[in-house]
Amino acid sequence: MAKFTNRKGKLRLYDGTATPYYLEIEFDKGDFSGPMGIPKTDEILVLNRGGYDAYAHYIEGSDEKVMEPSEISFSCLIEDTTITTDLLAWIEGGGTVSGQTVVTTKEDTQRARSVASPAFADTNKATYNVEYKLDGATDIVWHYNEVYFELSEQSFSEGEDEVSLSLKGKVYGTITRDTAFTTGTDVTE
C-alpha cells in the first residue's frame, strides 16, 4: 500500500494576474491544516406552533456562516536565501516580490449565490491564493482562494538548529479540489 506522507506535500502562493505568479514554499515541517470545503448554511427546522407534524419543514439559514472566513495554517523553515524575503514580502501584502509586481486575488471568486466575494473595507488588505498538493500516483490539490495573512497572527520561533515561520491564513474565497497546480510563472525566475 502506498500512502501519502508529509514528504510529498508542496505548497504555492499565487497572485491575481492573468497568468499568475507563484511562489513555491518548502515547508519541511509538513504540518499543513485546512478545511476540505466552505461551510454550508444551517438547516433550520420550522415546527407548526412548536409541534412536529406533517407541516414541519426546514428553511435555509443565513449566508453569514458561508461567508465567514475559513482558516488554514502551515509552517516552514526560514532559509538564509532570498526565498525567505520573497515569502515575507508576499504575506506582508505583496507589492513587489523578486522584482515582480504581485496582484491581490480579492473579489476573484464567488463563494455564495454567484456573487463575487466583497472587497475589504480596508483597501490596503490583499489576498492571495494558496494551493496545497499531495504529490503521488494520483495527485490531490486543494485550492484555497482569496487568503489573507494578518501580520499580527503570523509568528516565528527560534530553535537550537532552526528558525521557523508559522503562518495562518483566512480564506475568504472558494475552496476546491482537483489534481494539478494552477498554471503560472515562478516569481523567482
- What global pTM score does this model have? 0.91
Nearest CA to 11 out of 167, 174, 164 is that of: 167
Q: Where are the domains of the chain?
A: 6-39+67-186
Fold for domain 6-39+67-186? Pnp Oxidase; Chain A (2.30.110)
**Residue 173 to residue 110: CA distance in whole angstroms:** 7
State the alpha helices, DSSP H only, in the chain: 64-67, 82-91
Nearest CA to 86 out of 43, 37, 128 is that of: 128
| Residue pLDDT, tens place only, 66-125 | 999 999 999 988 888 899 999 999 999 878 999 999 999 999 999 988 899 899 999 999
Q: Are 72 and 32 in contact (CB under 8 A)?
A: yes
**Residue 76 to residue 25: CA distance in whole angstroms:** 8
* CA 171, 172, 173, 175 torsion-angle sign: positive
Q: Cell digits for 96? A: 513587489
Nearest CA to 102 out of 11, 10, 19, 181 is that of: 19
- Work out the pLDDT band at 126, boundaries 50, 70, 90: very high
